[in-house]
Amino acid sequence: MKRLNSQLQQDGAPLELILLIRTLLAGCKEIAFRVSQGALAGVLGSTLSENVQGETQKKLDVISNQILKDTLRESGYVKAISSEEEDDVVPCNPEGNYLVSFDPLDGSSNTEINSLIGTIFSIAHAPQWMEPSDPSAFLQPGTQMVAAGYVLYGPSTMLAMTTGRGTHIYTLDKTHGGFLLTQPNVSIPAQTTEYAINASNQRHWEPAMQAYVADLLAGSDGPREKNFNMRWVAAMVGDIHRVLCRGGIFMYPYDKRDPDKPGKLRLLYEANPMAFLIEQAGGLAHTGSGRIMEVMPTEIHQRVPVLLGSKDEIEACLSYYKAHS
């Protein structure tokens, strides 16, 4: 099987980017070990503090964030970091050529039930005229990413990543500690009968999403004339991994509870990197009003509605938005 380095070289990634990715993944392998120890290492449970998102931090959130922060700051390749768990950007090397954004432990509430969790990341070029502490350096559309991916801490530790030359999936070989290519050039089926959405929020959705999901639930007796299955992991990495492996549609749409938070998912740490992966695998990534990767960020913790997955089903979903506009 092909090693990660070989695939990155084949895809034309520059040497410094390859070295940065290897450094980032070294931190992820450390997180994978901590996760695997669980209760044996006393890393489960919550802390007494909240992050900038207003969410109670899990112990593994804090540990994972610190591991990645320390690893990337010491690498020398990174000018600054933005993390879901940090209030502000973290300055690193003023001469660094890259910016890294990450959600250190997506789905961390799943640690209590030993279910799927993961790390989501994206990498972009650092504007050399900006100071490392300047958050505006991160206010770039997703089209400017040079790499993105996630590491899924499941029965096996897997990496899904793109550098703009297709989406590839790797599996961590724990016998030698390297990621080996196991699914090259992932292609998402255009059609699907699976969808993922947090149905408990149904009463807060816009009319377009209400109508779309109602027709999915109507199955073969409804206007879609086929039966759909709902799957929900409660960790974006798990749901997106399923979409990459066998197709489907993942949705976290706009809801009306808080006008200042048009979606739950963060643009920099979750929506953009997953959109890059999905698009490079032949799927579509949309907010309901436009392409996710074309959204111009206004602040580092910005949230957006998210529709990701199989091309034909995303287009079917968007037709409801058009009809209700």
Which residues participate in the annotated binding site for Mg(2+)?
Answer: 84, 103, 105-106, 270
Confirm if 272 and 238 have CB atoms less than 8 A apart: no
Give the integer Cα–Cα distance in Å for 167 and 275: 11
Which pair of structure tokens corresponds to residue 193?
């009968």
What is 238-289 written as a DSSP string? HHHHHHHHH--EEEE--BSS-TT-S-SEEIIIIIHHHHHHHHHTT-EEE-SS
Annotated binding site: 84, 103, 105-109, 198, 264, 270
For residues 132 and 124, give the distance between their C-alpha atoms in angstroms, rounded to a whole number: 14
Question: What are the two backbone dihedrals, phi and then psi, of residue 72, each rounded to the nearest 5 degrees?
Answer: -75, -35
> Who's near 162: CB < 8 A, 6+ residues apart?
147, 148, 149, 168, 276, 277, 280
Q: Is 308 helix (H, G, I), strand (E, B) or coil?
A: strand
Rounded CA gap, 65 and 159, in Å?
A: 18
Strand partners, 122: 101, 148
Q: How many residues does the chain have?
A: 325
What tokens were used for 273?
């990197």
- DSSP annotation of 291 reads B
Give, in order, the Cα–Cα distances in Å from 102 to each of 1, 226, 266. Answer: 28, 38, 10
Contact of 56 with 39, CB cutoff 8 Å: no
Residues that constitute the known binding site for substrate: 106-109, 198, 264
